[in-house]
């Protein structure tokens, strides 16, 4: 297990017990913990603020909740799992029979040992989630029913971390922070984003990297509404979710379908030789659908392992820290890091000796390769780079057309530039 894998899994375990929602102190505490690893600028947006076609909702907080049977035993206890309460439940203090309580109880009959995850953000109601096997054992009552919560004017909270680059052009990395006690969806994505930010901070990247930790849907919409003057700088972006299960990687393309991030991630996945899936964009899923809405149409894709809804533990208590592995999160991180490397090194060049093939031998380009087994591939990479360095083709274009890896092509370009045969172009 790598050090990064240990750190990511430890962060998931630490964040897991917190009760998060689209607003509230659980979100704030989550950001406080993230900020121990990477500095964050935290934004508070007041209830009632108009954000595009939406309005920032009331803030929800909860202190306790339970259902107590006639013997005084808590048969449902928020202290055991934050999933036990329907998100955004209004306060309740009542005594009722099981028949009266039953319409407010949610289970998974097909998965009787799991607690479901349910929310009711925009309708003022209340409810409890519990295991079907617990419900089956309940007697007629009466039951003491308590939800000690508040739903009042407050704020929506999100955080940003920026790694400055040589260019103001930005790469966006976004993950949602609104789910309570769900390790794969969403904490593994948060952990991978944090580790990627830590790694980027060790270098001065070519691009500026902006990390957004925000509640799903309303958080991304709020960020877009408050950053309309900035979005033109975003040349690539990725939404991270479901990043820690043991399934193979899945990449969902941006709305454009051929954006820089689409090409970079797909190249890395193909070159890896591992099982993976690439799917086209659809306007359903995580926050890529906000960033790719037609008015913005940003080049933002989504990287997951098993997609949302495609594993039995999705949105249940089965999605716990034991369901995600350090090795799977490390694999997601390394794949993302390789894609970042492509984005960092991909650029267009101009061949400074375009009339006929320049003599590489007298410049020491052949001899410098020695007797390595990949000498022939490196020679072919140089020839391809020289031929397509007309100012219109990028290194990724060369890689895709030649069938050579991006690394081979980028290595050849560096050697040719050092020999005075290529000039890198800014755009």
Beta-sheet pairing, 208-214 with 105-106: unpaired
For 332-359, what is each residue's pLDDT tens digit? 999 999 999 999 999 999 999 999 889 8
Q: Are 180 and 19 in contact (CB under 8 A)?
A: yes
Residues 312 and 243 both lie in one domain: yes
- For tokens 């013997």, what's the residue? 71
Alpha helices by DSSP H, listed for 84-231, are 98-101, 132-136, 189-200, 218-226
Residues 188 and 39 both lie in one domain: yes
333, containing H or E segment: helix 326-345
Residues 146 and 260 both lie in one domain: no
Residues 33 and 181 both lie in one domain: yes
pTM here?
Answer: 0.93
Cα–Cα distance between 360 and 315 in angstroms, integer?
Answer: 59
Residues 242 and 363 both lie in one domain: no
Cα–Cα distance between 416 and 112 in angstroms, integer?
Answer: 64
Cα–Cα distance between 208 and 200 in angstroms, integer?
Answer: 10
Residues 250 and 320 both lie in one domain: yes
- For tokens 């101009």, what's the residue? 350
Beta strands in 70-131 (DSSP E): 74-77, 92-96, 105-106, 128-129
Residues 266 and 136 both lie in one domain: no
Instruction: Residue 109: give its domain's CATH number.
Output: 3.50.30.90
Domain containing 103 equals: 60-152
Q: What is the CA radius of gyration of the chain?
A: 25
Residues 382 and 234 both lie in one domain: no
Please report, in range form, the residues annotated as the binding site for Zn(2+): 179, 185, 315
Cβ neighbours, 10 Å, residue 113: 12
Residues 48 and 141 both lie in one domain: no
| Per-residue confidence (pLDDT) for residue 378, from 0 to 100 | 83
Domain boundary among 289, 323, 345: 345
Domain boundary among 345, 367, 391: 345
Residues 21 and 138 both lie in one domain: no
Cα–Cα distance between 12 and 363 in angstroms, integer?
Answer: 53
Instruction: Residue 369: give its domain's CATH number.
Output: 1.10.10.10
Domain boundary among 317, 345, 373: 345
Instruction: Residue 177: give its domain's CATH number.
Output: 3.40.630.10
Please report, in range form, the residues annotated as the binding site: 179, 185, 315
Residues 187 and 297 both lie in one domain: yes
The number of domains in the chain is: 3
Per-residue pLDDT of the chain (427 residues; tens, 9 = 90+): 789 999 999 999 999 999 999 999 999 999 999 999 999 999 999 999 999 999 999 999 999 999 999 999 999 999 999 999 999 999 999 999 999 999 999 999 999 999 999 999 888 899 999 999 999 999 998 999 999 999 999 999 999 999 999 998 999 999 999 999 999 998 999 999 999 999 999 989 999 999 999 999 999 999 999 999 999 999 999 999 999 999 999 999 999 999 999 999 999 999 999 999 999 999 999 999 999 999 999 999 999 999 998 999 999 999 999 999 999 999 999 999 999 999 999 999 999 999 988 988 888 787 554 445 456 888 899 999 999 999 999 999 999 999 999 999 999 999 999 999 999 887 6
Q: Under 8 Å CB-to-CB from 175, ≥6 apart: which residues?
A: 186, 189, 190, 192, 193, 212, 213, 239, 240, 241
Residues 66 and 159 both lie in one domain: no
Q: Residue 350, class by beta-carbon neighbours within 10 Å (0-12 exposed, 13-18 middle, 19+ buried)? A: middle
Q: Are 196 and 330 in contact (CB under 8 A)?
A: no
């Amino acid at each position: 297990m790598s050090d990064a894998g240990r750190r990511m899994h430890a962060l998931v375990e630490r964040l897991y017990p917190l009760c998060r929602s689209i607003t509230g102190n659980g979100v704030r505490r989550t950001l406080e913990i993230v900020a121990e690893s990477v500095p964050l600028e935290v934004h508070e947006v007041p209830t009632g603020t108009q954000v595009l076609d939406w309005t920032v909702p009331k803030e929800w907080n909860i202190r306790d909740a339970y259902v107590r049977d006639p013997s005084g035993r808590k048969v449902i206890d928020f202290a055991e799992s934050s999933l036990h309460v329907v998100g955004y439940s209004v306060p309740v203090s009542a005594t009722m029979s099981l028949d009266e309580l039953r319409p407010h109880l949610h289970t998974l009959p097909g998965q009787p040992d799991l607690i479901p995850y349910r929310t009711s953000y925009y309708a003022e109601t209340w409810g409890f989630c519990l295991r079907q096997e617990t419900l089956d054992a309940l007697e007629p009552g009466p039951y003491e029913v308590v939800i000690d919560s508040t739903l009042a004017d407050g704020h929506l909270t999100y955080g940003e971390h920026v790694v400055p680059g040589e260019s103001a052009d930005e790469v966006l990395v976004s993950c949602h922070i609104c789910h309570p006690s769900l390790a794969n969806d969403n904490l593994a994505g948060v952990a991978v984003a944090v580790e990627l930010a830590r790694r980027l901070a060790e270098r001065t990247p070519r691009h500026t990297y902006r990390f957004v930790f925000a509640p799903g849907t309303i958080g991304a919409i709020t960020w877009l509404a408050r950053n309309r003057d900035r979005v033109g700088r975003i040349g690539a972006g990725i939404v991270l979710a479901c990043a820690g299960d043991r399934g193979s990687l899945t990449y969902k393309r941006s709305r454009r379908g051929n954006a820089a991030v689409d090409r970079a991630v797909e190249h890395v996945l193909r070159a890896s030789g591992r099982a993976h899936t690439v799917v086209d964009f659809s306007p359903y899923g995580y926050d890529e659908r906000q960033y790719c809405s037609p008015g913005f149409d940003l080049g933002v894709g989504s990287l997951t392992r098993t997609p949302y809804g495609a594993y039995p533990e999705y949105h249940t208590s089965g999605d716990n820290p034991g369901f995600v592995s350090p090795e799977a999160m490390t694999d997601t991180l390394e794949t993302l890091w390789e894609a970042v490397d492509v984005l960092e090194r991909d650029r267009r060049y101009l061949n400074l000796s375009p009339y006929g093939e320049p003599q590489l031998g007298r410049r020491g380009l052949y001899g410098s390769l020695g007797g390595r087994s990949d000498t022939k591939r490196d020679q072919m990479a140089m020839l391809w780079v020289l031929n397509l360095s007309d100012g219109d083709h990028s290194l990724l274009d060369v890689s895709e057309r030649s069938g050579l890896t991006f690394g081979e092509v980028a290595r050849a370009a560096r050697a040719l530039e050092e020999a005075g045969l290529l000039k890198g172009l800014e755009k």
